[in-house]
Structure 1
Amino acid sequence: MGTDTLTKPDVVIRGRKVVGGVSEGEAMVTSQTISGWGGVNPMKGEIIESHHELRGQSFAGKILVFPGAKGSSGWSGVFHTTRLTGKAPLGMLFNIMTTKVALGCVVLRVPTMTDFDSDPLEQIETGDWVRIDADEGVVSIWKGGRRP
C-alpha cells in the first residue's frame, strides 16, 4: 500500500530561519502588522490594538502568521513577557524583517521564519494546521485544521 495521503501536507513553503527549532499548531493569521507596546496584552497574549482585525483574540499557543512588527522598540519586551507568562505563540512566520521583530523573535525563543519562496499570508488561513521546521527552512501546511 502507498503512503497515507492524510499525513502529507497540502502546501509546503520554504524560507529562512530566524530562530531555530520545530513547532506545530493551529495558525492565527493577520494581514496587519502588530504593535507590541500598546497593541498586545502580554498577560493574555491578546491583541488589544484599536482597529486591529484580531482585536480581542489571543495568539497564545498558536502559530502567528503576520506581515511584521510596527511601533517602538517595546515590541521585544512585550513579546518576551508573553513567554514569561506562558501566553506566547508556538511559532511565528512573518514577511518584513526589522530590528524590532528580530529581537522580539530572539527573546521569544520560538521557531520563527521569514524570506519565503511563497507568501505565507496567501498560503495559510486561520485554523490551518502548520508545522514549522526552522532548522530545515520548511513550513508544512494542512488546510482546514486537518492534522498530519
Structure 2
Amino acid sequence: MIKCRKISKGYAEGEVILTKDPLSFLGGVNPEKGTVIDSKHELYNKNISGKVLIIPSGKGSTVGSYVLYQMAKNKTAPLAIVALEAEPIIATGAIMAGIPMVDRPEEEILDLLHNGDIVAVDADSGFIKILKQN
C-alpha cells in the first residue's frame, strides 16, 4: 500500500491512465466524451472516463472545477484522481463531483505505475493499493 493524503472522500478500483504532464480540464478535456482534447498533451485523444487518473497536478482556470463536475453529471469523469500535488482547481472539482482523490503519495507513482495497471484508491483511509500490474 502507498500512503497518500486524502483530498476527496471515497473508494474506487480501476484501470490506471497516467501522465507526467499537468492536466487542464478547461479546454483540455471534452466533458461530453471524457477525451483529452489538448493536442499538446501526452494523453491527447485518450479517454479518461471510468479510469483512475494519475497526474502530477492540474493547471488552468478555476472553471476547470466545473468541467470536472459536469463530467461527473455526464458520467464521463475519472473513477478517481491521484495527484502528486493537488491544487485547488482539481481538488475543488473532485470534491464537488464526489470523485475520490488523494495526493502526496509516499512513493514515486509516476515511475511505479503504468497505463493499464489496476489499482484501488481508498481516499477515506489515505492509500493506493496496486491490485494488478501489466
State the TM-score bracket (shorter-chain normalisation): over 0.9
Contact (CA 8 Å) 1:95, 1:116: kept in 2 or not? yes
Which residue matches 2:3? 14
Supply the AA of the counterpart residue of 1:143: Q
What are the Cα deviations for residues 63-108 of structure 1, in whole angstroms up to 9, with x where unaligned?
A: 0001111111111011111101110110010012221122111122
TM-score (norm: length of structure 1): 0.86
Partners of 2:20 and 2:110 within 8 A in 1: yes
For normalisation by structure 2, the TM-score amounts to 0.95
Task: Indicate the residue corresponding to 2:133 in structure 1.
Answer: 143
Task: Report the more deviating stretch, 98-107 or 28-37.
Answer: 98-107
SS of 1:103 mapped into structure 2 = helix
2:32 to 43, 47, 55: 43
Which structure 1 residue ranges, 4+ long, deviate > 3 Å from structure 2? none
Q: 2:94 aligns with which of 83, 87, 105?
A: 105
Instruction: Return the match for 1:83 from 54, 57, 72.
Output: 72
- For residue 35 of structure 1, give the secondary structure of its aligned residue in structure 2: coil
Partner Cα separation in structure 2 for residue 86 and residue 32 of structure 1 = 24
Q: What value does the CA root-mean-square deviation take over the aligned residues? A: 1.0
How far apart are the structure 2 equivalents of 1:83 and 1:21?
14
